[in-house]
Amino acid sequence: MPSYAHPLAWLLALEGVALLRAQAGDLGDEEFVKARIAEIRRLAADRDLASSAGTVVGHATTVEGYAQWADRYDSEENPLIAVEEPQVRRIFTTLPAGRALDVACGTGRHAAFLAGLGHEVVGTDSSAEMLALARAKVPDGTFHQADLHDLPVGSASFDLVVCALALTHQPALGPALAEFARVAKPGGHVVLSDIHVLSLYLGGVAKVGGPDGGLRAMPAGRFLAGDYIAAIHEAGLEIVACHEPRWGELRGGHGGPLAQQRCPEAAAAAYHDTPALIIWQLRRPR
């Protein structure tokens, strides 16, 4: 069913997360708590905020959403990618060059990096618009329009399988993990990255415009670490490492322009040291 977004609800939610963290002893003293309560009173008394009509948020498929994003995906500053890329690329540099499959490759940002490391790169994505950008970015690569549950490649044919910031859009992890295990060579590696479930609740659900000028949210599964572990083991893969890089300071602040205008201290507390992503390095046993 559609959700409902309201500016006052967003601001009060950030205040609430900040207070919960203060109550848990993570951060914030008596002065911090009293400042949050006073700020909540001011926000609740703001007639402009209270009278806002809010927005009904509908649903968009990933094909619809990424068709809108494609032409600006690489030009927009994405704080999630800024946290993800250094960790994922550190993993890539520890692996020998071989055949690499970039699943849900998007504009080819990881495919291009892997090609630069000497890998023979194949990419797949369900978005024709994103694939066009990937092909231009990695002219020597091979790219296919395909769903990640049905990859058009042979079994046991890749030394490295990568899937970045895409599994959250799936209704379940098992089918995708089984397909990744199928196409990886024995002894090959699988590297996954995705938004952390805690970041989804801090505004991380991807949204695009709707035909009526409103907002539509793309699918966002609330997968816990235990869900990944169960799917990984069921697929017959081994866990080499798991990383949960955390939010640090962000240029312009966290929570968006409205939060920075109305409650920047609460927004900073809500995001402080919260996991931004979960990153898995896996291996198919020999």
**What tens digit of pLDDT does each residue of 253-267 get?**
999 999 999 999 999
Say which residues have a Cβ less than 8 Å from residue 193's Cβ, sequence separation at least 6.
84, 87, 88, 163, 164, 165, 277, 278, 279, 280
Helix (H) / strand (E) containing 232? helix 225-234
Q: Distance (Å, rounded) from C-alpha 230 to C-alpha 33?
A: 40
Class of CATH domain 60-205+221-264+275-283: alpha beta
Give the per-residue pLDDT at 211.
82
Q: Distance (Å, rounded) from C-alpha 47 to C-alpha 230?
A: 49
CA angle 188/193/197 to nearest 5° reads 140
Domain ranges of the chain: 60-205+221-264+275-283
Query: Could you tell me which residues are beta bridge partners of residue 59?
Result: 217
Task: Give the pair of three-digit tokens for residue 236.
Answer: 């017959």
Supply the mean pLDDT for the chain: 95
Q: In what order do the strands lie in the sheet with 207-209?
A: 3-5, 55-59, 215-217, 207-209
Sign of the alpha-carbon torsion through 85, 250, 194, 145: negative
Give the per-residue pLDDT at 213.
78
Q: Distance (Å, rounded) from C-alpha 122 to C-alpha 183?
A: 12
Which of the residues in the chain have pLDDT under 70? none
> Using an 8 Å Cβ cutoff, are 245 and 276 in contact?
yes
